[in-house]
């Protein structure tokens, strides 16, 4: 079985330093890693592919992202590729990432399954997997919490709101975006680590992918200015000056917290309806 895993390089939270004077991120000592959802996807790929299968890892990112792909090689990925379009992608939009990934996948032997992390740990919009499936014209399941292979199909469980789950069956090839807690990445063996450290990571640029700059011209956000956050102002409670003194003192003591009071209407329906309308009119809603 051939599985491709898409990894995004995100800052290692342990190395993120905020300059205490300007509140800007100090990128000089920042190290890049793959986020927890992406490493879960990689671990699942290694397990599903088994010892004879092929696991290839792709990453859209600058040269520093090689570290992420080396990590994948160290734990057993059979092939890696970095995709990059400098300096066009300084602010990477999910659609651009997905298009590059799709092009990268189509250039090599098409895999049976593509696994992604459900959300990156920096921006976390979770769009790339769905957009990738769109470009490939494959089915996609996001927020996957369980995976079981059944021949050329895969049974997955998907997380819905409020603890609900949905079971689905998908025909391969497909894109699955898995949640972070699904699997924990194995430790690399020493020979694996050394092999990865010695490997050179192949890079594909636009022309290698058969793309033109215009293909990436999606509407994107652009950074105009970066300003340090201003401390949030805290509203100071002032008592209602129209109230008598003892009430104002009570207001100050309770810091203005009052219990919500409700009114329960009783009586015949018509009378109750009138009361509601009257209530709304009093407060200027109708």
- Please tell me whether residue 169 binds another protein under the rule CB under 8 A: no
The minimum distance between CB 200 and another protein, in angstroms, equals 14
Could you say which of 137, 151, 162, 190 contacts another protein (CB under 8 A)?
190
Residues in the interface with another protein (CB under 8 A) total 19
Q: Which two tokens stand for residue 21?
A: 């004077």
Distance between CA 200 and CA 286 in Å, rounded? 71
Among 148, 149, 194, 276, contact with another protein (rule: CB under 8 A): 194
Q: Under the criterion CB under 8 A, does residue 47 sit at the interface with another protein?
A: no
For another protein, the binding residue among 19, 166, 274, 278 (CB under 8 A) is 19
Q: At its nearest, how many Å lie between another protein and the CB of residue 166?
A: 38
- Distance between CA 177 and CA 127 in Å, rounded? 10
3-state secondary structure the chain: CEEEEEECEEECHHHCEECCCCCCEECCCCCEEECHHHHHHHHHHHHHHCCCCEEEEEEECCHHHHHHHHHHHHHCCCEEEEECCCCCCCCCCHHHHHHHHHHHHHHCCCCCEEEEECCCCCCCCCCHHHHHHHHHCCCEEEEEEEEEEECCEEEEEEECHHHCEEEEEEECCEEEEECHHHCCCCCCCHHHHHHHHHCCCCEECCHHHCCCHHHHCCCCCCCCCCCCCCCCCCCCCCCCCCCCHHHHHHHHHCCCCCCCCCCCCCCCHHHHHHHHHHHHHHCCCC
Stretch in the footprint of another protein (CB under 8 A) among 8-16, 122-130, 257-265, 276-284: 8-16
| 52-60, 99-107, 187-195, 220-228 -> range binding another protein (CB under 8 A) | 187-195
Judged by CB under 8 A, the residue of 11, 17, 146, 199 near another protein is: 17
Least distance in angstroms from the C-beta of 73 to another protein: 14
- 27 interacts with another protein by CB under 8 A: no
Position 197 contacts another protein (CB under 8 A): yes
User: Minimum distance from CB of 21 to another protein (Å)?
Assistant: 5
Which residue lies nearer to another protein by CB, 72 or 140?
A: 72
Q: Which of residues 199-258 bind another protein (CB under 8 A)?
A: none
Interface residue with another protein among 20, 231, 235, 244 (CB under 8 A) is: 20
Binder of another protein out of 184, 187, 205, 243 (CB under 8 A): 187
Does 188 sit near another protein (CB under 8 A)?
A: yes
**For residues 98 and 109, what is the distance between their CA atoms, to the nearest angstrom?**
18
Q: Which of 193, 199, 203, 275 contacts another protein by CB under 8 A?
A: 193
Query: In terms of Cα–Cα distance, which of 77, 109, 59 is closest to 186?
Result: 77
By CB under 8 A, tell whether 21 contacts another protein: yes
Binding residues for another protein, rule: CB under 8 A, are 12, 14-15, 17, 19-21, 28-29, 31, 187-191, 193-194, 197-198
């Amino acid at each position: 079985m051939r599985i491709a895993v898409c990894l995004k390089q995100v800052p290692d939270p342990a190395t993120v330093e905020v300059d205490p004077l300007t509140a800007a991120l100090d990128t000089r000592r920042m190290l890049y890693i793959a986020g927890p959802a992406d490493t879960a996807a990689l671990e699942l790929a290694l397990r599903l592919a088994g010892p004879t299968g092929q696991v290839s890892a792709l990453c859209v990112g600058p040269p520093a992202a090689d570290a992420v792909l080396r990590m994948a090689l160290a734990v057993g990925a059979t092939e890696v590729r970095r995709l990059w379009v400098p300096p066009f992608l300084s602010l990477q939009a999910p659609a651009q990432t997905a298009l590059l990934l799709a092009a990268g996948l189509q250039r090599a032997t098409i895999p049976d399954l593509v696994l992604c992390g459900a959300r990156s740990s920096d921006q976390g919009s979770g769009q790339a997997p769905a957009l990738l499936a769109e470009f490939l014209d494959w089915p996609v399941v996001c927020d996957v919490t369980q995976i079981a292979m059944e021949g050329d199909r895969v049974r997955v469980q998907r997380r819905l709101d409020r603890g609900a789950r949905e079971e689905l069956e998908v025909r391969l090839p497909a894109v699955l975006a898995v949640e972070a807690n699904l699997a924990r990445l194995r430790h690399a063996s020493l020979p694996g680590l050394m092999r990865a450290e010695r490997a050179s990571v192949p890079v594909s640029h636009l022309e290698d992918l058969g793309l033109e700059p215009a293909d990436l011209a999606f509407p994107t956000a652009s950074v105009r200015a970066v300003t340090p956050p201003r401390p949030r102002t805290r509203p100071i409670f002032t008592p209602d000056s129209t109230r008598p003194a003892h009430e104002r003192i009570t207001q100050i003591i309770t810091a203005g917290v009052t219990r919500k009071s409700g009114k329960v209407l009783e009586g015949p329906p018509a009378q109750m309806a009138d009361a509601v309308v009257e209530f709304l009119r009093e407060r200027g809603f109708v």
